[in-house]
Amino acid sequence: MESYKRMDASNLLACLQLYFSYSKFRPFQLECMLNLCNGHDVFAMMSTGAGKSLIYQLPSVTYRHYGVLTTQIVISPLLSLIEDQGKTRLSIFTVLFLSNPFSCLMTIMNNRL
C-alpha cells in the first residue's frame, strides 16, 4: 500500500522556487529527487557543493507542502565534509593573513573567522 503521493517535476520545481528561491535544478538533482519521490532508493555520490543536501530536503518539503508527512534517511560521509570545510577555512585564513596580517589576527580575536 502506498501512503505517499507520487511527485512529478512540476511539483518539485514549484516548491524549489517557493521555498528555496532557485529557478532551476543543478545537474542530476531532479533525476535523483524524482526517483526518491517515486519510491526508489537513490545513491548520489557528488562532490562538495554539488547540491546533495537539496536532493533530500526538497522532497520532504514538497510532500509537507502537499500535506504528506515523510521521513528520509540520509547516510552522509560527515568526516569527509568536515575535512573539505576545514581545508576551505584554512585557505581563507591563509589568504586573509597574507593580504592583511593585522586584520586577520583581529578577525580571529573577535571569533569571526
Cell numbers that stand for 60 in this block: 520532504
Higher-confidence position of 1 and 59 = 59
Q: Is the pLDDT of residue 88 over 70?
A: no
Helix, strand, or coil (residue 17): helix
Higher-confidence position of 105 and 58 = 58
The DSSP call for residue 16 is I
Predicted local distance difference test score (pLDDT) of residue 33: 93
pLDDT tier at 112, thresholds 50, 70, 90: very low
The string of pLDDT tens digits covering residues 52-80 is 889 988 988 898 888 887 776 666 666 56
Output the average pLDDT for the chain.
Answer: 74
How far is the C-alpha of 69 from the C-alpha of 49, rounded, in Å? Answer: 27
Cβ atoms within 10 A of the Cβ of 32, count?
22
Predicted local distance difference test score (pLDDT) of residue 38: 84
pLDDT tier at 113, thresholds 50, 70, 90: very low
Backbone angle region of 35, left / alpha / beta, with phi > 0 → left and psi within -120 to 50 → alpha: alpha
Q: Is the pLDDT of residue 16 over 70?
A: yes
Across the range 74-93, mean pLDDT stands at 59
